[in-house]
Structure 1
Amino acid sequence: MTNIRDVARIAGYSVSTVSRVINQQNYVSAATRSAIQKVVDELDYAPNDVARDLSRGKTFNVGVVLPHEDHPYFTQLIHGITTAAFAAKYHVVLLSSRYDADLELNYLEGLRRKAYDALIFTSHGLPLSQLAYYQQYGSIVICEHPRNSGLPAAYAHRRTTYRDALVYLKTHGYQRIGLLMSRPIAVSATSQATADAYQMVFGQRPSPEICVTDVITLADGERAAKTYLQRGQHFDAILANSDDIAIGVSRGYQAAGEPVPFLIGQEHQLSGELAHLPTIDHYFKKVGEHALQLAISGEKKTIAIDSRLITEQ
């Protein structure tokens, strides 16, 4: 197999000069560049990316751990991460986890083995303390408040806009409010933020009966509506965890011939705009861009992005 030394020997130049030509670096004359490129073409030589990365001590790969891609939280984050990675000439490797602790640990071991330069956890099943332990092997960034973990983080301020949304409902006379969440309050920082905001506004923790979890897609929104109706629960309003999900809730009530509660969505999706739904925009694309920059820079800092309640569309 042809290697860079073969190219250098045949072209009559040093390996370092050939390397500069192959990597399109400066400090090589046009004549030298042309002569070396002619030999490269004749030998059909292509550099070994793995060997090159090992010599640089970097893979230029960033692993992005995500439990699923169905919710706009993840799709918008990935959009931001990949946009920033493309600009920085990094590769993004999507690592599906389904909140499986063994899979997440395997990805952390991959960081230890230098399969990636960094990992971004868009969400996680493992405790933050275990993620923090692996920082000795490479950069690890999370997309939530880091608390006292010491992990770099890029995340959206959620409690403030959740509170704003619930205050909006309360001041408009809505008292019986349903809450839709992707995961239970006990294991999800996002669900905890929703519950904390509810307590701030209504003076008590939300009861389990008003919360429906495992709600990720539009179809899940329809299922949530059916769940409430089967329980005989009647709400003035529902805070859904995406605009698409809110549309699913509306369909569920309409299919049952029941009045549709007032709905607030999240993530400022096209479906919400078309239906003129109030929504919360967390600017997750921007969060993803900052997460990537933290991952490749190795900076140990926290970046919090302000979100916004949009009441008229």
Structure 2
Amino acid sequence: MANIHDIAKASGYSVSTVSRVINHRKYVTDQVRQRVEQLMRDLDYVPNAVARDLSTGKTHNIGVVLPHSQHPYFTQITNGVMEAAFAAGYRVVLLPSKYDERVERHYLEQLRQRAFDAVIFTSRGVPLSELARDDAHTKMGRIVCCENPGDLPLSAAFTERNSTYETAFEWIRAHGYKRIGMLLSREYALSATSQAMIEAYKDVFHELPRPELVRTSVVNNQDGYDSAQYYIDHDLRPDFIFGNGDDIVANARQCYLDHGLAVPGLMGQEHQLSSTLLHIPTIDHHFNEVGRRAFELAVSDHVAQRPVASTFIDIDE
């Protein structure tokens, strides 16, 4: 297989001149470019993509760290990243993590080694402070998170949901509900979303939610069904269930129907089709837009935060 030195020898031009042609650089006449490109075709020369990326300083690869893809939060953010990346001529590389810090640090090391131009953390196991430190010290690419980093100097695209959660709990209280079941993906200490929901509950009801009514590790539709089954089996009788996805609470509803029981009030999130069909109040966090903004930050030279306001969708209106 021909290499760049073979092209240079056959053309009579220097290796640096041939490299300029390969990398579409300026300072090469049309005559030289045509001569080199014709020889590349004649000798069946294919440029080394890795070497070319190193010469330009760009891979046009964006890594997206995904703990899993079972919840619409992750699929919607990823869709937003992919839409923006495709329009800008970038490739998206999905990096599964399962919240394993060792795996996440491996991806950060790949970023340092220029495997990607940037890495977007849709969620993470490693501390935000570590991501901020790595972003400050690596010159190889940008690190972007999808949660509010507070005062940390870290690029972030995230949904502003605190006030929306308060609006949601005000709606629940105004409708007379008192025993509120909450379905969360992770425990309070590990999840910014769980923290925001529970803090909003406290602000509205002036107390903590009942621990027995708070279910964690709820990430897919079956988990919604199983959570309702848990309430039924333990005779907990919530009069309202606020879940972390419309399809999740729709499956909780199905569990009550399967048992011939009255369905408690329901509220979901992510504005999925099920909330429209079942006439369930929901919250649209606009995660597609979060993904698009995360990509814009990933290819930016500046650290910035780009919040997106979430929307409470009231079925009474």
TM (norm. structure 2) is 0.92
User: In the alignment, what sits opposite 1:254?
Assistant: 257
Aligned-CA RMSD value: 2.0
User: In the alignment, what sits opposite 1:54?
Assistant: 54
Q: Describe the SS at the equivalent of 2:178.
A: coil
Q: Describe the SS at the equivalent of 2:189.
A: coil
Check whether the contact 1:161–1:309 (CA below 8 A) recurs between aligned residues. yes
Matches within 5 A, 1:101-180: 101-135=101-135, 136-137=137-138, 138-180=141-183
* Whole-angstrom CA distance in 1 between matches of 2:248 and 2:292: 25
Q: CA deviation at 1:18?
A: 4.3
User: In the alignment, what sits opposite 1:93?
Assistant: 93
Q: Residue by residue, what CA displacement relative to the aligned partner does 1:149-201 show, whole Å, maximum 9, x if unpaired?
A: 22111100111111111111111222221111000112110000000110111
Matches within 5 A, 1:181-200: 181-200=184-203
Q: CA deviation at 1:110?
A: 1.9
Q: CA deviation at 1:104?
A: 1.3
**Structure 2 residue identity aligned to 1:96:** P
Structure 2 residue 270 is the aligned partner of structure 1 residue 267? yes
**Structure 2 residue identity aligned to 1:58:** K
* Whole-angstrom CA distance in 1 between matches of 2:253 and 2:35: 68
Check whether the contact 2:23–2:52 (CA below 8 A) recurs between aligned residues. no
Q: CA deviation at 1:290?
A: 0.7
* Whole-angstrom CA distance in 2 between matches of 1:253 and 1:279: 20
Check whether the contact 1:157–1:307 (CA below 8 A) recurs between aligned residues. yes
**Structure 2 residue identity aligned to 1:127:** P
Select the residue among 204, 210, 215 that pairs with 2:218.
215
Check whether the contact 1:219–1:248 (CA below 8 A) recurs between aligned residues. yes
Structure 2 residue 37 is the aligned partner of structure 1 residue 37? yes
Q: CA deviation at 1:22?
A: 3.9
TM (norm. structure 1) is 0.93
Q: Residue by residue, what CA displacement relative to the aligned partner does 1:255-313 show, whole Å, maximum 9, x if unpaired?
A: 12111111111111122222222111000011011111111113211111001011239
* Whole-angstrom CA distance in 1 between matches of 2:281 and 2:144: 31
Q: Residue by residue, what CA displacement relative to the aligned partner does 1:118-169 show, whole Å, maximum 9, x if unpaired?
A: 2111111111111222111131111001023221111001111111111111
Q: CA deviation at 1:14?
A: 5.2
Q: Describe the SS at the equivalent of 1:266.
A: coil
Check whether the contact 1:161–1:308 (CA below 8 A) recurs between aligned residues. yes
Matches within 5 A, 1:53-72: 53-72=53-72
Q: Describe the SS at the equivalent of 1:226.
A: helix
Q: CA deviation at 1:47?
A: 0.9
User: In the alignment, what sits opposite 1:229?
Assistant: 232
User: In the alignment, what sits opposite 1:277?
Assistant: 280
* Whole-angstrom CA distance in 1 between matches of 2:28 and 2:278: 60
1:273–1:24 Cα change, 3 Å: farther
User: In the alignment, what sits opposite 2:289?
Assistant: 286
* Whole-angstrom CA distance in 1 between matches of 2:129 and 2:30: 54
Check whether the contact 1:97–1:103 (CA below 8 A) recurs between aligned residues. yes
Structure 2 residue 5 is the aligned partner of structure 1 residue 9? no
Stretch deviating more after TM superposition (102-111 or 299-308): 102-111
Paired residue total: 313
**Structure 1 residue identity aligned to 2:241:** I
Check whether the contact 1:112–1:134 (CA below 8 A) recurs between aligned residues. no
Q: Unmatched 5+ residue regions in structure 2?
A: none
Q: Residue by residue, what CA displacement relative to the aligned partner does 1:91-124 show, whole Å, maximum 9, x if unpaired?
A: 2221111111111122222222322222111111
Check whether the contact 2:180–2:209 (CA below 8 A) recurs between aligned residues. no
Q: CA deviation at 1:234?
A: 1.2
Q: Describe the SS at the equivalent of 2:176.
A: coil
**Structure 1 residue identity aligned to 2:178:** Q
* Whole-angstrom CA distance in 2 between matches of 1:261 and 1:24: 64
Structure 2 residue 310 is the aligned partner of structure 1 residue 302? no
**Structure 1 residue identity aligned to 2:93:** V
1:10–1:84 Cα change, 3 Å: same
